[in-house]
A and B are shown apart, each in its own frame.
Chain A
Amino acid sequence: MLLEIDNITLLYGRIQALHGISLQVDEGEIVALIGANGAGKSTTMRAVSGLRPIASGQIRFAGQDITNMRADLRVIRGISQAPEGRGIFPGMTVQENLDMGAYTRRDRAGIQADLKRVFELFPRLSERRKQAGGTLSGGEQQMLAVGRALMSRPKLMLLDEPSMGLAPMLIQQIFSIITEINQQGTTILLVEQNAQQALSRAHRAYVLETGRIVKSGTGEELLRDSSVKDAYLGVA
């Protein structure tokens, strides 16, 4: 088991955002978290990456307890995140943004190889190398966020709403690339509003509602599940 979240709770001030979430991600999987706005999907991601301390529970990564570990050390351990809203550094060029992704690394040759790989996955980024991140289109920024998250050579990649604000064709494209990245050996935990895409791409998924997991199963199972269909897939 690569990631194991055990009964975590999380507070924003006096508001409880997570009420005992437990989930597992196995090596090589794509696992999706789906749910409505405010269900706690992004908050769960933030707890895993260490952006937000949890109130109780435990998070284990690759057999190690990382519950109280600093965010930067989690990056070194192999967790990387493409944050919600993309989090592109607007004044840095595409190249500099990607370099920031490799911030914790020292192996120049390895970084070069990964840079090449990112440019192969996203040829568009290669064309825009010297352009400031803030001038990219929404789709390009999303590609940059995913590419940058790859640059730390993570074991586990956390993708927060990679399809947000993208045109349908681009959504298809970004999900194909996510699948490709996964097939190349990176485990992926994915948060999505676009449940249709997420469930058809993911091996397994969890459904969140108001800070609790209400359902889990394989992507196919959930795609067929009538309550999931009603609530998240927009088909009667």
Chain B
Amino acid sequence: MTTVDVPPTAEAQTPAPLPRRKRNGIRSWFANLPWPARTGILVAVVAAAYLLPYTADVPVIGPQIITTGTDWRTTLFTVSYYILLSLGLNVVVGYAGLLDLGYVGFFAVGAYTVSLLSSPDSLWHTHWAWLETIPVAVAIAMLSGLILGWPTLRLRGDYLAIVTLGFAELIKIIATSTPGFLRGDTGFTRIPAPPGHHADGTPLFGVRDSTPYYWVGLTLVIVVIFAIRNLDRSRVGRSWLAIREDEEAAEVMGVRTVKFKLWAFAIGAFVGGLGGVMFAGFQGFVNSNTFVLQFSILVLAGVVMGGSGNIAGAILGGALIAYIPERLRGVTDPISHTDLFQWRFVMFGLVIILVMIFRPQGLIPSRRRAMELRDRRKEAAPE
């Protein structure tokens, strides 16, 4: 945190410019690198991400990072779909500024569509392969987002939060009350895994090694990052930004606010559905207990903690909420001699409170977001 003294130019002498803090040192350093260096670093980071399943083989640091109570590669897969969900929710919450409290609903729609189309337990007996279910599942998730958003996004304020909360609960209730259709907590079993075989004939996506799942998850994460980044830099992103900062002003600039909010919501639903598809393909089993409210709140906490409105922030947030509890599993607390995993929600609560006090804009804040928060504070408590 250094402040650079600017030589007194004509511009610097104009009164009351706010002190410019160089808070994002790494980011501006990266942006100022020549493009070959930037590409090189990106490639290295991506390669490192793909090699994460072999962390245990790294001397000294490796064993500290990996999870001891659960399979490290499975944890990595979990991290990958949590990141996916954070990225999706970040479009809704971080970009468009809409509060979605029932994001797990779209995850559920994705997972249930896969189950209905592929599981032998399904009433439909369609027995589709996992791959075939993907387009249908994400399309239905997106459609459910549109149907939910269409009436509610015309209203301003917090209606959306309530409606989304209700939506997630509704799906859970439908699931538990239709033992024939969505099968309650009996659930769907034998959901097929992604295709592919090893040379020796054993399935590529098996129970023994989760690495292929993680790689698929990571690849999807990368694709989603690029898609969202391009959207953010387009006219769509500019419209979202305007809506988030001042919806009414955006409207009088000529932004079709309802349309763009609906888009953000549908894209969020799409990515959420994709997360559900991955989850179903990995787990092979889906029941109503998978989709608890806690899950929505957790992902939202991840987005806010990481720094909403910012892709890097969403990635960090999503990774932390998935990784920390798994890392704590199997670690014994020296005082009470219990598994630290049981304290995970207490720790989350503490971490979130600390972040909100010391870094309300999130761990990796977006510059604009910080400015908006300052502006809101002025509104809430005028000087």
Q: Give the docked Cα–Cα distance between A72 and B17 (Å).
A: 34
**Is A95 in contact with chain B by the CB < 8 A criterion?**
no
Task: Write out the residue numbers on chain B whose beta carbons fall within 8 Å of the beta carbon of A163.
Answer: none
Q: Give the docked Cα–Cα distance between A73 and B367 (Å).
A: 32
**Binding stretch for chain B, among A84-92, A109-117, A220-228:** A84-92
Q: Is there an interface contact between B372 and A83, defined as CB atoms closer than 8 Å?
A: no
Q: Is there an interface contact between B245 and A91, defined as CB atoms closer than 8 Å?
A: yes
Q: Is there an interface contact between A91 and B255, defined as CB atoms closer than 8 Å?
A: no
Within 67-125 of A, Cβ neighbours of B (below 8 Å) are at 70-72, 75-76, 80-81, 83, 87-92, 100-101, 103-104
Q: Is there an interface contact between A75 and B245, defined as CB atoms closer than 8 Å?
A: no
Q: Which residue of B lies closest to A102 (CB)?
A: B253
Q: Is there an interface contact between A89 and B252, defined as CB atoms closer than 8 Å?
A: no
Q: Is there an interface contact between B371 and A75, defined as CB atoms closer than 8 Å?
A: no
**Is B158 in contact with chain A by the CB < 8 A criterion?**
no
Task: Write out the residue numbers on chain B whose beta carbons fall within 8 Å of the beta carbon of A2.
Answer: none
**Is A134 in contact with chain B by the CB < 8 A criterion?**
yes
**Most B C-beta atoms less than 10 A away, residue of A80, A81, A92, A134:** A134
Q: Is there an interface contact between B17 and A135, defined as CB atoms closer than 8 Å?
A: yes
Task: Write out the residue numbers on chain B whose beta carbons fall within 8 Å of the beta carbon of A100.
Answer: 238, 242, 250, 253
Q: Give the docked Cα–Cα distance between A80 and B371 (Å).
A: 26
Q: Is there an interface contact between A87 and B371, defined as CB atoms closer than 8 Å?
A: no
Task: Write out the residue numbers on chain B whose beta carbons fall within 8 Å of the beta carbon of A231.
Answer: none
Within 199-228 of B, Cβ neighbours of A (below 8 Å) are at none
Q: Is there an interface contact between B241 and A134, defined as CB atoms closer than 8 Å?
A: no
Q: Is there an interface contact between B374 and A90, defined as CB atoms closer than 8 Å?
A: yes
**Is B132 in contact with chain A by the CB < 8 A criterion?**
no
Q: Is there an interface contact between A127 and B11, defined as CB atoms closer than 8 Å?
A: yes
Q: Is there an interface contact between A51 and B256, defined as CB atoms closer than 8 Å?
A: no
Q: Is there an interface contact between B254 and A135, defined as CB atoms closer than 8 Å?
A: no
Q: Is there an interface contact between B14 and A127, defined as CB atoms closer than 8 Å?
A: yes
Q: Is there an interface contact between B255 and A72, defined as CB atoms closer than 8 Å?
A: yes
Q: Give the docked Cα–Cα distance between A134 and B368 (Å).
A: 10
Q: Is there an interface contact between B372 and A131, defined as CB atoms closer than 8 Å?
A: no
Rounded to whole Å, the gap between the CB of A148 and the closest CB of chain B is: 8
**Is A233 in contact with chain B by the CB < 8 A criterion?**
no
Q: Is there an interface contact between B254 and A72, defined as CB atoms closer than 8 Å?
A: yes
Q: Is there an interface contact between B374 and A51, defined as CB atoms closer than 8 Å?
A: no
Rounded to whole Å, the gap between the CB of A72 and the closest CB of chain B is: 4
Question: Given A90-B375, A100-B238, A135-B17, are A51 and B248 neighbors across the interface (CB < 8 Å)?
Answer: yes
Q: Is there an interface contact between A80 and B252, defined as CB atoms closer than 8 Å?
A: yes
Q: Give the docked Cα–Cα distance between A137 and B14 (Å).
A: 12
**Is B18 in contact with chain A by the CB < 8 A criterion?**
yes
Q: Is there an interface contact between A83 and B17, defined as CB atoms closer than 8 Å?
A: no
Question: Given A127-B11, A135-B17, are A90 and B245 neighbors across the interface (CB < 8 Å)?
Answer: yes
Give B239-272 as 1s and 0s: 1 = Cβ < 8 Å from A's Cβ atoms.
1011001101111111110000000000000000
Q: Is there an interface contact between B256 and A72, defined as CB atoms closer than 8 Å?
A: yes
**Is B33 in contact with chain A by the CB < 8 A criterion?**
no
**Most B C-beta atoms less than 10 A away, residue of A87, A91, A128:** A91
Q: Give the docked Cα–Cα distance between A100 and B255 (Å).
A: 9
**Is A49 in contact with chain B by the CB < 8 A criterion?**
yes
Q: Give the docked Cα–Cα distance between A80 and B255 (Å).
A: 12
Task: Write out the residue numbers on chain A whose beta carbons fall within 8 Å of the beta carbon of B369.
Answer: 91
**Is B16 in contact with chain A by the CB < 8 A criterion?**
yes
Q: Is there an interface contact between A92 and B11, defined as CB atoms closer than 8 Å?
A: no
Task: Write out the residue numbers on chain A whose beta carbons fall within 8 Å of the beta carbon of B252.
Answer: 49, 51, 71, 75, 80-81, 83, 87
Give B357-372 as 1s and 0s: 1 = Cβ < 8 Å from A's Cβ atoms.
0000000000111111
Q: Give the docked Cα–Cα distance between A76 and B255 (Å).
A: 11
Question: Given A91-B371, A92-B241, are A75 and B254 neighbors across the interface (CB < 8 Å)?
Answer: yes
Q: Give the docked Cα–Cα distance between A80 and B251 (Å).
A: 10
**Is A132 in contact with chain B by the CB < 8 A criterion?**
yes
Q: Give the docked Cα–Cα distance between A72 and B248 (Å).
A: 11
Question: Given A90-B375, A92-B245, are A152 and B368 neighbors across the interface (CB < 8 Å)?
Answer: no
Q: Give the docked Cα–Cα distance between A49 and B239 (Å).
A: 19
Task: Write out the residue numbers on chain B whose beta carbons fall within 8 Å of the beta carbon of A50.
Answer: 251
Q: Which residue of A lies closest to B14 (CB)?
A: A127
Q: Is there an interface contact between B242 and A90, defined as CB atoms closer than 8 Å?
A: no
Task: Write out the residue numbers on chain B whose beta carbons fall within 8 Å of the beta carbon of A132.
Answer: 368, 371
Question: Given A70-B256, A100-B253, A103-B255, are A91 and B368 neighbors across the interface (CB < 8 Å)?
Answer: yes
Task: Write out the residue numbers on chain A whose beta carbons fall within 8 Å of the beta carbon of B368.
Answer: 91-92, 132
Q: Give the docked Cα–Cα distance between A120 and B86 (Å).
A: 45
Within 113-141 of B, Cβ neighbours of A (below 8 Å) are at none
27 A-B residue pairings within 8 Å (CB atoms): A49-B252, A51-B248, A51-B251, A70-B256, A72-B254, A72-B256, A75-B252, A75-B253, A87-B249, A88-B246, A89-B241, A89-B245, A89-B246, A90-B371, A90-B374, A90-B375, A91-B245, A91-B367, A91-B370, A100-B238, A100-B253, A103-B254, A104-B253, A128-B14, A132-B371, A134-B374, A152-B253
Question: What 15 new A-B contacts, CB under 8 Å, besides A131-B17, A134-B372?
Answer: A51-B251, A72-B251, A75-B252, A80-B252, A81-B252, A83-B252, A87-B246, A89-B242, A90-B374, A91-B368, A100-B253, A101-B253, A103-B242, A134-B371, A134-B375
Shortest beta-carbon contacts, A-B, top 5: A91-B368, A87-B249, A75-B254, A90-B375, A104-B254
